[in-house]
Every structure is written in structure tokens, then in C-alpha cells.
Amino acid sequence: MEWSYKQIRKNSWDTAFKRGWRAWLALVAVLFLFSWIGAAHSSQTSFVDATDQALGLADQDIPDSVEYLKEYIADTPLAKTFPFLTSDTAMQIFDSITDSYKWVIRLFTLNMAYFQRNPGEVIGNLIIVSIMTTVVRFLFQNVAVIGRNRYVMETRFSKNVPARRIFAPFGKEHLGNVIWVMVCYHVVLTLWSITVIGGVYKRLQYGMVPYILAENPSVKWRDAKKLSATMTKGYKWKMLVTWLSYVYIWVLQALPLVGLMVSVPLNTELDSEIYFTLRANPTVDHSYFIEPAFYAQPVVVSGTRKEPVYLMKDIKIDPPQSVVGKPPYGVTDAVFFFMIFCFVGWVWEVGLVLFQQGILTNRGTMHGPWIPIYGVGGTAMVFLLNRFKDNKVKLFTSAVLLCAVIEYVGSFLLDFLFNSSYWDYKTMFMNLNGRICLAGLVAFGLGGMFAVYIAAPAIASFARRYSKRTRIIVAVILAALFITDLICCMVFGFNSGEGVGGAI
């Protein structure tokens, strides 16, 4: 197989810049998108950082807030039991987390009163965010590269590539394999990087794996690794020299805007061109190369405007069979469910306080006889969990999890946005920050089953005794009353008083 440095560079230049200014802008936009998820060249990330700096979104002076959190950690009983938590090593790890996730600190310090009330929750959220982000970033960024490669590869043969082609390799039948292969790929490269020479060699040897997957996402890790090694055998030095021949493009990456508009597209197309050059080797097993369109000449070279037909079709997202068809309830049903569940929750709260403390008071966050979180939770369970009616265990478990999210988020928003607290479970068994507790979630799970099996069908059946016009009028009146109350709360403040939560 002939390796022409000049032809490889020319094809990459033509694909990046000679398909027309619209195609060039589309390529730049797609590649810029990947800068936000980390699957990008350094010049893209630099441009994003510079943009954040210009908008005032970059690092801010938050050391006082971090020190406040450190002091809180030092005063906790857990730290006194396990001194390691306040050791220099632990504090260095904490500093690293806060430095990487300054946006979390910045977010919570928007309400300094909340920040000082709930330092433990802030620390917990910071740790959770760091763990989840690390896992998601590792999986998502590494897998996203396959979508980017697919788009870039198609630009070689198509005048105009729709942005949706990024998602083509991620059909449900292939997604699991793509994730697994990319995890194996990065684990192997990471282990080999311990030895510098071995790391460079293996990065060249297995460098075609992300492109092989972009063409054929069903290829297994062993096959992809073997195929890449076969493709690059005898060509690793030529690959390296080809990249080094574009050293002036690397220099341009130091200029954020120029790097984004010129250097990044050219470098990305160069990587793709190297793949297609190696792909043409007749000694390679071509059974893994499934796209006949990839055997054609580059679109600029051939001069044709005919768009090729790819075997890999656009991704299709089919709705689950359990939700296919017309839903059992309509919009007016949703309004009735919401308002009735709000009212039932209000009656429950008022009656509970009246029974326990002998106080008759409006226990709602709003001024009318309704508590929105009951309406949100009840309605959400009916519409989201109705599909599980045939499986009581799954329905109950899903109701508990759904209510846990709704109640925790509701409590957090009241605390963070309005400095208010309308329930506190800190004295209850197995509570989380006093926002949710085991007993309450079990009760809500049972309530969810009651809502799905009994309440919702009864409400809908009763409403259907009346004409559609009557149902709409009643629904509009109820919605108008609730919205009016909500506006009054936003203007004059939420409900507070004896036996009622409120300002903290």
C-alpha cells in the first residue's frame, strides 16, 4: 500500500475547507460542541475557558467558603472519631475536589444563608457530584468520541452531513458494546502509559479502534484491537511523521479562535484520513468494514454532489411497549388529579396537626386549601407508574423512589430559594438531611398504589359523567384559582404562622 504524505494532507485540507463554507461551519459547530463535554482538542477547551472568563463565569474568589467547609468537617463527631478526615492528605483531596467543581460552591453560595445552614449537605452534594461526574465523564466523553468520528468520517464522502449522524452508532443494539470496547481501550492505554515508550507505541497501535467502532459499532474489543494492530503494522512511524508534518497547525492551536476555526477541523480530518488510508490496505481483513460508501473517492476529489447511502441508519428511539398507544388519562384528568391530591394532602396535614397539637391552622405552603407537593407527587405517580399496574412490587418500589426525589427536591428548593422549611424529619429513623425519611417514603409508596389502583380511575370515571365542555370549564377554573394563589405567594410571600413551617 502506497503512503503519500502529500495526498493525505491534501485530502484532509479539502474535506475540512473545500466542501463549501456552510459545510465548514457545520463541522466547526459540531467539533465545538464536543469541547463542552471534554471530547475535544485543547484549543477548543481553551476557547471555552476564555469565553467563561470573558462572561465572568470562570474561577471566582471562593477560598473563604472552602475554609468554612473545612472548619465544619473538623468539628463533626465523625472527624473526631476518624482523624484521617482532617489530615493533610484528606484536605488536599478536598481542595482538589473543590478546585475541580468550583461551580458547585459557586451555586450554593448564591444563597449564603443556606450555605451556612447546611454545610454538611453542601459537602455531601459536592462529593456526590464529583463521583457521578467522574463516572459519567469517563463513560460519556469516551463514548461520545465515536459519534464525533462518525460525523467526521462521513464529511469525507458527503457534501452536507446532518448533525444527527453523531448519534448513528449508538443504537440500542450496539450501545452496550461501544461502551465496553471504549472502557477496555482506555484501560489498556492507561496501563501502558505507565511506561512512556509503551504508551506511545500502544496509542499508535490501537489508535484506529475509535474509528473502527464508528464504522461498525458491533465489533468486539478483541477484534477491534487485533484489526487496529494489523492496520497500523509497519505504518506507525509514517503515522507519527504525518502528524508531525502538521506542526505549524499545532502552533495555531495556541490561538483560541484560529485554533477552533482552522486547526481543530484540519487535525480531526487528518486523523480520519489516516484511518481511510490504512483501511485501504489489501492485507487487512475487510469483513469488519461494513460501509460500501467508504470505498469511494472523497467528495471534493470526485466532484460529485450525490449523497452516498450508508448502511448505518439514523438512530431510532422506540417508545416502550408499555406506553405505546393512547394514554388512559387526558389533560383535564391531570388537572383534576393534581387539585384533588393537593387538597387531600392539605386535609391530611391539617388533620394531623389538629389531632396531635389541637391547633387548627393552614398547613400548606400556599394560602388556599392545597399543598402542591402532594399534587405533583400523586399526579406524577399516576402518569409515570400506571404502566406498572400489573407488577405491584415494581409499582411500590418505583413510587417510593419517585416520592423520595420529589420530596427531597421540594424541601431543598424551599430551603435554598425561599429560606423556608415546611417539614423536618431529623428526629425520624433513617432520614436524609431531615428532608426525607423511611416511614414517610413507605407511606407515600402505599399512597402511590392507592392513587394508581383506586383514586385515579375513580376520579376519571366520575369526571366522564359530564360533558367534555363542562370538564374543561371546571379544569380551567381550578387552574386559575391555583395560579392566582401562586402569584399572590410570589408577590406577598408564602404561608406562615403557628404550626406552619416558614422562614428559617
| pLDDT in the model for residue 45 | 47
pLDDT value of residue 325:
47
Res 379: pLDDT:
95
Residues, the chain = 504
Point out the residues of the chain with pLDDT beneath 70: 1, 35-61, 256, 304-305, 317-327, 497-504
Q: Report DSSP letters for 376-398, one per residue.
A: HHHHHHHHHHGGGTT-HHHHHHH
Quick one: pLDDT at residue 132? Answer: 85
3-state secondary structure 281-332: CCCCCHHHCCCHHHHCCCHHHHCCCCCCCCCCCCCCCCCCHHHCCCCCCCHH
- Cβ burial of 122 (10 Å; 0-12, 13-18, 19+) is buried
- Are 357 and 499 in contact by the 8 Å Cβ rule? The answer is yes
DSSP 261: I
pLDDT of residue 44: 46
Longest dimension (CA), the chain: 92
In three-state secondary structure terms, 232 is helix
C-alpha torsion sign, points 316, 320, 324, 326:
negative
Tens-place pLDDT, residues 300-329: 877 766 778 899 999 876 655 554 445 588
For the question of whether the overall pTM of this predicted structure is more than 0.75, the answer is: no
> Per-domain residue ranges for the chain?
5-53+136-300, 328-503
